[in-house]
Amino acid sequence: MPKPPEEYWKFVSQYPSIRRLFEEKAEANKDKVFLYFKDEKYTYGELNEASDRVAAGLAELGVKKGTKVSMFMFNSPEWVTALFALAKLGAVLVPLNTALKGDPLIYQATQSDSEVMIVDSRLLDSYKRVEDDLKTLKNVVVTVKNESVDSSLMPSKPHVTFDELQKHKPNEEVKADVTYKDTMCIMYTSGTTGPSKGCVMPAAFGLYNAFEMVDYLEYTKDDVLYCCLPLFHGNALALSLLASVVAEASLALAEWFSASRFWEDCCKYGATAVNLLADMHVILFKRPTSEYEREHNVKRIFSAPVVKELYPFLKGRYGCEWLNGYGLTENGIVTLWSLEDARAGRMDPGSIGKAVPFADVAIMDPETGELLPPGKVGEIVTRPKLPFAMFKEYYKMPEKTIQAWENLWFHTGDLGYMDENGAFYFVDRIKDMIRRRGENISSFELEKALFRNQKIAEVAAVPVKTETGDEEVKVCIVLKPGEKMTPEEFMDWCQDNLPYFWIPRFVEFRDSLPKTPTGRVEKYKLREEGITPNTWDREKAGYKIKKTRPT
């Protein structure tokens, strides 16, 4: 069973900073491989020494405790090295989404007060286009990923290469005294429901969440954690990278998620555990079977959340445990299945788990603020039970911070309910709940139902305003390669498989859906698009829904 809260606090007291955690684990495991990347491998000792050198180089650029440093990089050994270098300096990491361009890139780099940016050479074009607007930047570090970088793309601001940083001699004097209270990073929300906010994360946040994964999923020194999520995301950073350090395990790092290469990579690195997000498990399941998917050593996969109907098929096809959990950037993973509960069959596959030891989780009436009993749907709210277990604030946004903590609970903006056994269930984002002609329709539930159609690869359901001002359901569909389907054919399928009031009025077939790099559909963009010239309207087409009536 999961450890009690006092064991979590004992761990953070023993390792009160990321610097302390990594240096002590590296000293105890000098010759053990910590990082696999492509065909390269790095030991704990090598990364510890490399991060010492980079820390010395960054210190010469003026980086010290509290300095904000943006990382605009794809997953790489340099990313990992820079993380530990910043931890040793007590600097504040600002991980930037690699898809950022133009105004969003300017906004996050400047709103965070970043003085230094570490840029992957493959992202220099995006950087260069906004360089003049990055007013807070004093220095740039370029990680050169190939020998020929267009000189016109190199920064006009003072800059060095990452290789040059690694040539510095380690300097113990530049290292800062930091504790679990100190800010580890400013991590921007993915912005699926509006402008991003910078979540100020204390070091304890990363430590609790890393320890949580080791506790619940029973990681040991023999494990190899395969990470195909971007390190600018809290899941990869805390639940894979830092969890590997806590367990004294190894990390197999991919540059990005590839469904075609997933199981082959797991076999290549001897992976024993994986974290996934969003609909990645659905994407994998819809792929043809491969020789690798049963030759791997993966024992457990943490995913948020697994589609209930797929759960038994996933276990049967891939031969490993799948565990559900729930959390946000601001609060980390606050509900989770334990491996023991999963193996004993004590968790409903539709559940997102029970509250973890360091958090209170409850269901609240969004209107009255009253905590609701089991079975009642309301907003999922949470608050920490241990010191600095959640984000401190939204950076330079005091009003947004106060709003999020109304009634002394953090408001997730998600709807859910709790059962009599204390297990929680996700229903939908509050803004994604569609109210159509007096009926509440969960876009989450509707999408799950539509995934049963074997021609559909991806789907998103959103509310749109009609000419009368009422809300109607619109679905945006990406078909599997080689498949064809007319709107009428889709409607016929809906009539056979959905409640009549769920059946969308509007349908749009698309080549892709707008997403964050972590695979989360940016529904606010689809809502803003509304009805487009490519949208098929059931009512204008004269298609009639057959309603089941009592006799």
pLDDT tens readout for residues 57-66: 999 999 999 9
**Which whole number is the average pLDDT over 191-209?**
83
Using alpha carbons, select from 178, 189, 205, 198 the residue that is nearest to residue 384.
Answer: 205
CB within 8 Å of 294: residues ≥ 6 apart: 318, 319
Question: Which domains are seen in the chain, by residue range?
Answer: 17-178 (3.40.50.980), 437-541 (3.30.300.30)
In whole angstroms, give the CA distance from residue 185 to residue 524.
26
Residues 517/98, Cβ–Cβ less than 8 Å: yes
The pTM of this model reads: 0.85
Residues 423/353, Cβ–Cβ less than 8 Å: yes
Long-range contact list for 102-106, CB < 8 A, 24+ apart?
102/129, 102/130, 104/191, 104/196, 105/72, 105/130, 106/130, 106/133, 106/134
Q: What is the pLDDT of residue 194?
A: 46
Question: Structure tokens of 178?
Answer: 């930091």
The mean pLDDT of the chain is: 92
Q: Are strands 68-72 and 159-161 parallel, antiparallel or unpaired?
A: unpaired
Q: What is the pLDDT of residue 290?
A: 92
In whole angstroms, give the CA distance from residue 161 to residue 51.
15
Q: What is the pLDDT of residue 547?
A: 64
Q: What is the pLDDT of residue 195?
A: 60
In whole angstroms, give the CA distance from residue 471 to residue 461.
12
Using alpha carbons, select from 325, 408, 388, 405 the residue that is nearest to residue 8.
Answer: 388
Q: What is the pLDDT of residue 193?
A: 46
SS3 109: helix
pLDDT tens readout for residues 506-528: 999 999 999 876 678 888 889 88
Percent of the chain past pLDDT 90, that is, above it, reads 75
Q: Is the pLDDT of residue 551 over 80?
A: no
Using alpha carbons, select from 258, 248, 206, 298 the residue that is nearest to residue 27.
Answer: 248
Greatest mean pLDDT among 320-324, 446-450, 545-549: 320-324
pLDDT tens readout for residues 13-30: 999 999 999 999 999 999
Q: At what angle do helices 203-217 and 18-28 cross, to 10 degrees?
A: 50
Question: Structure tokens of 193?
Answer: 């429901």
SS3 252: strand
Residues 49/127, Cβ–Cβ less than 8 Å: no
pLDDT tens readout for residues 466-509: 776 678 999 999 999 999 999 999 999 998 888 778 899 999 99
**Which whole number is the average pLDDT over 350-374?**
95
Using alpha carbons, select from 339, 230, 22, 32 the residue that is nearest to residue 324.
Answer: 339
What is the sign, positive or negative, of the torsion defined by CA atoms of 423, 426, 427, 430?
positive
Residues 321/301, Cβ–Cβ less than 8 Å: yes
In whole angstroms, give the CA distance from residue 427 to residue 324.
14
CB within 8 Å of 462: residues ≥ 6 apart: 432, 434, 443, 473, 474, 475, 476, 523, 526, 527
CB crowding 231-267: b at 16 or more within 10 Å, else e: bbbbbbbbbbbbbbbbbbbbbbbbeebeeeebbbbbb
Q: What is the pLDDT of residue 431?
A: 75
Question: Structure tokens of 526?
Answer: 């689809």
Name the helix (H) or strand (E) containing 344.
helix 339-344
